[in-house]
Structure 1
Amino acid sequence: MSTSGNIAVIPERPAEKGYWKNDWQNVADKLMDMLLTLRQDTEAGWEDRGAFNGCEIAIYPRKPDEPFSVMPMFRGKTHAAGLTPLEVFTGIRMTGFRMMWDTRVQSAHIMRSFSMHEFLFYLVWRGIGPIYKPRDICGIQALRCWDAAGNLQRTPDFTTTKMILGYQSLDEVPGIPPQVEGCVRAHVFKAAFYLESREGGCDITYIGHVDLAAAIPNYILSTLHSELPKSTVRLRDMLLTFGVPPVLIDRQGRIALQYLSCNPETRQVSLHATIMQAGSVHLYLDYNKMFTQGVVISNVLGSAAAAISVREHFGSEDGLERRMLALDLLPEGVGGEFRLIIDAADKEGPESGTGPGWW
């Protein structure tokens, strides 16, 4: 993918012909190896900065020789009662919902997908008028997950009891020029969410270490030190208040996901994918809070639209019955793509109702 001047070129399909081969796998592996021991390796050096609404806040002091643009490493930890690691992860993974709790994010894009949850990304953090320009980051997202027995899992699901979601900057990402107009290129040394089952809920730990690439006023830096760890609280409260965004589970690699979105205001779900092999994938919807009156399939588009059928499914992998939609993919659809549009059945307007395709 080429770039045009100093403008980021965002792909419409980050996995157009299927998931890309990960030429950055060694970077992802080194990142995850480091994150696996990061908490133990740094435990003695954290400075307690108090608590806020159930969130423990800590700062790891900056080294004396580091430039003032480098923020001290921060840590925020809280507990989300009644939620699983998979549900919390989905609140992080889905951009529309992340922008509700991560107030820094102006935009976020997947540039090249290696799997459903591992990819190259381009992210822009908001600026503050003329004194603090927007920061942009290009990098890699990596994921590791385990079940209760400690077995490494290929795909997270409701049996997952531990997840580490890691981020790190890359010097080059296809489609992103070295400098994008209007932005200062920040560098993420490391950032991670640790999601761990405990006492019927999920512990959320967020750690980040970033170079903002240009000196900023001390009061802005102090605000960032304080606010970034608190984003775990906003994430927790968003999920407990509004419900869990849709969760797509594809254990067998039946599809290559292009995007999955859910509008927080309208609750409209849009799933765009390429069919790689026949079979079924499952879409978990939060019928307890987000879709209390059920959903309706508003439209199915694309070259493989006729090769997909939707039915209700009840999964119980973790011992709890969970209501889902099963998407059955027919052999004649392999190689084609589909766009599935789902609306809340209680949505105002002519598209809501209890006609065919209502659950």
Structure 2
Amino acid sequence: MTATIDTPDTSALIGDEERTALAELAFGIGRRYEDKRFSDLDAARAHWKEVCDAGLPAISLSPEHGGAGTMTDLLLVAERLAAGGYPAGKLTISTAIGGAVLLRHGSPEQRDRWLPAIGDGSLRFCFALTEPGAGSNAARMTTKATRTPTGWRITGQKTYISAADDSDVMLVVAKDSESGGFSLFSVPLPCEQLQMQPVDVMVGVPESQFTVFFDDVDLPPEALVGEAGAGARALFDGLNPERLIVAAQAVGIGRWCLEKAAEYAGQRVVFDVPIGAHQAVQHPMAEALIDLEAAWALIERGAAAYEAGGNAGLACNMAKVKACDAGLKAADAALQAFGGSGFTSETLMFDRFGYMRLLRSTPVSREMALNQIAVAGLGLPRSY
């Protein structure tokens, strides 16, 4: 018996056979790496190369910069890669954040220089927002940008920066020392004035994590992305796609877990019947599948809100919360169905469960997302 978990309805999303073929292409790439741990960095790099060779990072970029579609298409690709068995983390930090910020707020020169290279994978971005004492609270940010006669100088510290060792450009959020607002800057990597210290994360992830120290990093004027001291809109035009991509990956990983668990439960015979015939096994998996479908609907809604160009924070946070809850629920149900074998390297169930648990807390914690939802969706007083 081979279990099949239904794919997202690509015709409803994008409406033609070409995009359905795109989804199948992404699924096939993910499937070729489903037996790899997420912490296998060699596998992550080989997987990313296949993703780039297929042109998938360009999907959400504008046609004049080598793109072919919309954010909705990119989310479909992200979900299908993960459902195949292996997500592409750089779609989050390089394409969804870097590409989205540059597309909407970069200068013409920045867009022409960087977007085609993001699209073909020859230029890799990472993103530096979180700080040790402030988390992702930009209002308490201490990393500063000071205007100099030759451009800008960045001083401060960031932490939990993914793929800082495997990127060409770091997009940095810093507080403007003059206005008190914050700005976005591009820092080329490697950089002599930027020191990196690895962060030992116990969960297997496809990118290494770092704390980075900016020791008077001098930048030219053209390193500024958007308007000085007015980077809030540019920032959230990157954070909202990040949350949607993470949500899409969570749904995809959840689908992979359920597929493997359903196949196992249909084959594993105990007391003369497959364990999948027992409602105690069936019902948690069925409920998880329902939640994954509901999460995908919220992801579609979030993508539509983002593409409309308005304030998409509410829809994107709702999608992120629901998708990560649903993905974790699916991974947990799958792990329980496998029993003790779910904790072995053969099934990789616990590897995926750990990653899903991480996504529930990052890149924005469930609690902070709920805070924003309460204020924007219910009109309640701010608690943060």
TM-score bucket (shorter structure): under 0.3
TM-score, normalised via structure 2 length: 0.23
TM-score, normalised via structure 1 length: 0.24
**Structure with a larger share of its residues in strand:** 1
**Structure with a larger share of its residues in helix:** 2
